[in-house]
Amino acid sequence: MPRIIKKEVSLTQYEADELDEVTQNLIETAKQSALRAYAPYSNFQVGAALLLDNGKIISGSNQENACYPAGLCAERVAFFSAKSQFPDCQILKVAIVAKPASQEQFKMATPCGSCRQVMSEYENNQEQHIKIYLPATDGSVYESDSVDNFLPFKFSNKDLNS
């Protein structure tokens, strides 16, 4: 008999004022970063801001290129920047925001598959889970308590070693 293997994932929806000041500040930093995106081809601005366990906040925005695949998403710009400057740091939280360049309002965008894989690698290597914050258009904020919620049945270095 075939068996169904299930994995449950969940997000928690908060009102913005239910989040602590540090997290609200992280979201604001991600928004400021999105405004510095280099996105002349998609006109879609994305910002990511990471809180490290050393208290530092590292942010990034998407950087596009005339040779399209050479561009990089905001999340990977921020994660690679953080881990290249502070290789021993633990990443506690990441806020991710997005907005079409022609609009004032930010909208919720979940990370792409490649960024999920990159975030997952770093989460696997550290003791604590990385919390992800995604602000929505209605002012609420979705929180994920782990990258795993976005990448169930993930591929990791465990697969390479076994």
Footprint on this chain of ligand THU (rule: CB under 6 A): 39, 42, 44, 46, 62, 64, 71, 73-75, 111-112, 115
**Among residues 54 and 103, whose Cβ is nearest to ligand THU?**
103
Least Cβ distance, residue 22 to ligand THU (angstroms) = 23
**Among residues 53 and 110, whose Cβ is nearest to ligand THU?**
110
Least Cβ distance, residue 74 to ligand THU (angstroms) = 4
Annotated active-site residue 75? The verdict is yes
**Among residues 63 and 156, whose Cβ is nearest to ligand THU?**
63
Q: How far apart are CA 138 and CA 147, in angstroms?
A: 23
- Per-residue tokens: 96: 């991710």
Pick the closest to residue 45 from 58, 57, 59, 31 (CA basis).
Answer: 31
Least Cβ distance, residue 147 to ligand THU (angstroms) = 13
Q: How far apart are CA 60 and CA 137, in angstroms?
A: 21
- Residue 144 exposed, middle or buried by CB count within 10 Å (0-12, 13-18, 19+): buried
- First-last CA distance in the chain: 27
Q: How far apart are CA 138 and CA 156, in angstroms?
A: 35
Of the residues 75, 104, 123, 127, only one is catalytic, namely 75
Q: How far apart are CA 51 and CA 55, in angstroms?
A: 7
Least Cβ distance, residue 3 to ligand THU (angstroms) = 33
**Among residues 53 and 108, whose Cβ is nearest to ligand THU?**
108
Q: What positions carry a catalytic annotation?
A: 75
